[in-house]
Amino acid sequence: MIRDRGEVILSAGSLGSPQLMLLSGIGPRSYLSTWGIPVAIDQPHVGGFVYDNPRNGISIVPPVPMENSLIQVVGVTEDGAFLEAASNVIPFASPLHSVFIRAPASPLYVPVTTIMEKILGPVSVGSLRLASTDVRINPVVRFNYFSDPQDLERCVNGTRKIGEILRSRAMQDFMFREWFGSHRFRFVGVPLPLDQTNDLVMADFCRRTVSTIWHYLTMVAALLGK
């Protein structure tokens, strides 16, 4: 509802709100001009200060059935990385299906347990830009994960903590027995690096495996004036 001397409440989410503001002419004058959008308010910060909590982790197939569970916090590191765990089932797609085996009519599901670390309050700053003047086209978002070395260091420390968890006595029940009596985890996706003492190796793992946890945050306050 819009009234004289009132206000407009825009609630389109962390990504939708700045997109609508830019399309409405509220944003950096020079940027809006490149799109041919009439400038209603020159507000340089709209589309900036975009944040997301980077997430890294590993997934393993447990040797015994697991109950499905949502993401749960199981610990917090000293520098503010949340350690979380979840279990679920995912469709299994064998690379042999397309070559030797006809894919089944119904997918085969396998249980998966995931242990992850998530950085609370990242320092790295991203941006949101228009991909089109059509409101139906999603904007272009860059979170710039780990552009600040503090975030990368926290990821390295949190990922090392996951390694400590995997080496704990409690996690031995999640290993498969192999030939000659050895035990090992069966990873789904990228496993942790073998050399977890090497900062460069661990930092590379963080960069290669980072994903979103869908906790977007954007500063979109505009000075509307009278």
The DSSP-derived string for 181-225 is G-EE--EESPPPPS-TT-HHHHHHHHHHH-B--S--EE-------
Please check whether residue 32 lies inside any domain of the structure: no
What per-residue confidence (pLDDT) applies to 65?
82
In a domain, 91, yes or no: yes
Q: What is the mean pLDDT of residues 158-175?
A: 94
What is the rounded average pLDDT of the residues 187-203?
95
166-187 average pLDDT score: 88
Do the domain assignments include residue 202?
yes
- Percent of residues, the chain, with pLDDT higher than 90: 62
Active site residue 215: yes
Q: What is the pLDDT of residues 7-55, one digit of tens each?
A: 777 788 899 999 999 999 999 999 999 999 999 999 999 999 999 999 9
CATH number for the domain harbouring residue 191: 3.30.410.40
Give how many domains the chain has, as a whole number: 1
Is position 187 within any domain? Answer: yes
Residue 193: burial class (beta carbons within 10 Å; 0-12, 13-18, 19+)? middle
181 lies in a domain? yes
* CB atoms closer than 10 angstroms to residue 113: 19
Question: Any idea which of 22-26, 186-190, 196-200 has the lowest mean pLDDT?
Answer: 186-190
Mean of pLDDT values over 70-99 = 78
Contacts of 54 (CB under 8 A, 6+ apart): 118, 119, 122, 124, 143, 145, 146, 151, 155, 206, 210, 211, 212, 213
Mean pLDDT is lowest, of 14-18, 84-88, 140-144, 216-220, for 216-220
DSSP 126: B
Closest by Cα among 9, 22, 23, 24 to 48: 22
Q: What is the pLDDT of residue 136?
A: 96
Band of the pLDDT at 108, cuts 50, 70, 90?
Answer: confident
Residue with more model confidence, 70 or 38: 38
Range of the domain at 100: 55-122+160-213
Query: 47 near 18, Cβ under 8 Å?
Result: yes
Residue 30 included in any domain: no
Give me the pLDDT at residue 220, please.
64
Q: Measured between alpha carbons, how far is residue 183 from residues 51, 175, 180 in Å?
A: 40, 6, 9
CB atoms within 10 A of CB 8: 10
Residue in 45, 97, 183, 215 annotated catalytic = 215
Q: Is residue 5 in a domain?
A: no
Is residue 25 included in any domain, yes or no? no
Q: Work out whether strand 217-218 and strand 183-184 pair parallel, antiparallel, or are unpaired.
A: unpaired
